[in-house]
């Protein structure tokens, strides 16, 4: 692969770059990370980790591009995660500074436009919920932001206030939330694995992303249909590298909600499945090489985001458990509803792994809470 030939690190840019940096480290590669947090884990994994200013949905344009210009001669190229879909022009500006090691900006713009993507699915005769531009209200419709991620932008449609710019409406459908991770070469795709996702919402943001577990097994006929959909979308949209197709599964059918044209949330869960390095699969696919499909069972894993129930500060000397990651430094202030960390667990099945990770998430919150630790003198500043 190119980085191995030239020996320079790869630049990772994402709202949280830790999972990509970890996948690169497991593949024997070096990274420089630009992200929102620069937490303890990322700093240990990366050659250099830089925190950048960010807006409500992604990086602040000026500081991000300035950082890229300062690093342009030090890195092989840019692998990006979440934080760009809402503004593909930022990715286009980045491409003028460093090579993009993933889907190019014009493809991201095409597939993250909800109406262009719905038209593509219609041409491919793939099931998907209707979308509309004009306001829709009632229990049958959701309001979303184009290019949004993490589920915080998804709300039930309501007539109470005018929608913000970039809003669209999608018909609500029911089903089990499943994501198909796949690697593509611009013509077709190879399935990596299926994961099941869940929400960790509040009354204000009911669809906030909670976590994922996998791999999950689907009935053979349904699995074949979803794999065919991944291949069709990858070929029609000319996707490359690691991507994922989000859908709702109801019985033997499914509805495609969106495609994520980048490595996604399942990276922690699926990296290493069938002996595959997902970082290497991503890089090799950019050169036009896809792996041969592999079957068989694989160990299950789950990863869950732990959100702060109220404003908190990571105490001095706090002992992060081994099953946690994305760990903040002592003194880090975490606002109500913001992520504290990610916890991970294995299991005999995806359901078992999810059950275990939910227990660990509750345990982590208890360790940070003065009312449950029984040591208020040491933890008094933890929760304000």
Which 3-state string (H, E, C) describes 258-311?
EEECCCCCCHHHHCCHHHCCHHHHHHHHHCCCCCCCCCCCCCEEEEEEEECCCC
What average pLDDT does range 274-292 have in this prediction?
Answer: 96
259 pLDDT band (50/70/90 cuts)?
A: very high
**What percent of the chain lies above the pLDDT cut of 90?**
74
- State which fold the 2-101 domain adopts: Rossmann fold (3.40.50)
Dihedral of the alpha carbons of 275, 280, 281, 284, in degrees to the nearest 10: -140
Residue range 148-166, pLDDT digits in tens: 777 777 778 877 666 677 7
Over residues 311-334, the pLDDT tens digits come to 999 999 999 999 999 999 999 999
* Peptide bond connecting 215 to the previous residue in cis, omega within 30 degrees of 0: yes
Contacts of 359 (CB under 8 A, 6+ apart): none
Per-residue pLDDT, averaged over 269-277, amounts to 95
> Among 111-120, 138-147, 204-213, 352-361, where is mean pLDDT lowest?
138-147
Domain map of the chain by residue range?
2-101, 114-286, 300-348+357-379
What's the pLDDT score for residue 370? 57
Q: What tokens appear for 208 in the block?
A: 């906030």
Q: How far apart are CA 235 and CA 111, in angstroms?
A: 12
User: What's the CATH number for 114-286?
Assistant: 3.30.470.20
Render pLDDT for 14-64 as a digit per residue (tens, 0 to 9).
999 999 999 999 999 999 999 999 999 999 999 999 998 776 667 888 999
For the cut 80, the answer to whether the pLDDT of residue 277 exceeds it is yes
Q: C-alpha distances in angstroms, 77 versus 100, 113, 124? A: 6, 25, 33
**DSSP 8-state code for residue 330:** T
Max mean pLDDT range (295-304, 333-342, 367-376):
333-342
């Amino acid at each position: 692969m190119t980085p191995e030939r030239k020996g320079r690190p790869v630049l990772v840019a994402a709202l949280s770059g830790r999972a990509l940096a970890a996948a690169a480290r497991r593949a024997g590669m070096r990274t420089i990370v630009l992200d929102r947090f620069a937490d303890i884990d990322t700093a240990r994994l990366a050659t250099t980790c830089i925190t950048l200013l960010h807006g409500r949905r992604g990086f602040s344009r000026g500081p991000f591009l300035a950082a890229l210009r300062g690093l342009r001669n030090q890195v092989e190229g840019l692998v990006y995660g979440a934080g760009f879909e809402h503004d593909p022009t930022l990715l286009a500006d980045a491409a003028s500074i460093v090579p993009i090691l993933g889907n190019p900006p014009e493809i991201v713009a095409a597939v993250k436009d909800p109406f262009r993507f719905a038209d593509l699915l219609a041409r491919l005769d793939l099931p998907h919920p209707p979308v509309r531009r004009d306001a829709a209200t009632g229990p049958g419709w959701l309001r979303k932001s184009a290019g949004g991620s993490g589920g915080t932008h998804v709300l039930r449609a309501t007539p109470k206030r005018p929608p913000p710019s970039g809003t669209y409406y999608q018909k609500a459908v029911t089903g089990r939330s499943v994501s198909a991770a796949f690697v593509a070469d611009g013509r077709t795709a190879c399935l990596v694995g299926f994961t099941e996702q869940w929400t960790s919402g509040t009354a204000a943001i009911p669809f906030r992303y909670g976590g994922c577990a996998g791999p999950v097994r689907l009935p053979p006929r349904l699995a074949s249909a979803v794999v065919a959909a991944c291949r069709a979308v990858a070929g029609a949209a000319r996707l490359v590298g690691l991507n994922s197709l989000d859908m709702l599964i109801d019985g033997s059918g499914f509805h495609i909600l969106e495609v994520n044209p980048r490595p996604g949330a399942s990276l922690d869960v699926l990296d290493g499945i069938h002996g595959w390095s997902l970082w290497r699969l991503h890089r090799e696919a950019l050169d036009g090489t896809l792996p041969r499909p592999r079957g068989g069972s694989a160990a299950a894993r789950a990863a869950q985001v732990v959100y702060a129930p109220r404003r908190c500060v990571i105490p001095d000397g706090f002992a992060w458990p081994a099953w946690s990651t994305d760990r903040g430094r002592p003194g880090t202030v975490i606002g109500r509803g913001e992520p504290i960390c990610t916890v991970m667990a294995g299991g005999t099945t995806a359901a078992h792994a999810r059950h275990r990770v939910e227990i660990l998430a509750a345990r982590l919150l208890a360790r940070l809470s003065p009312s449950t630790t029984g040591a208020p003198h040491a933890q008094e500043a933890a929760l304000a």
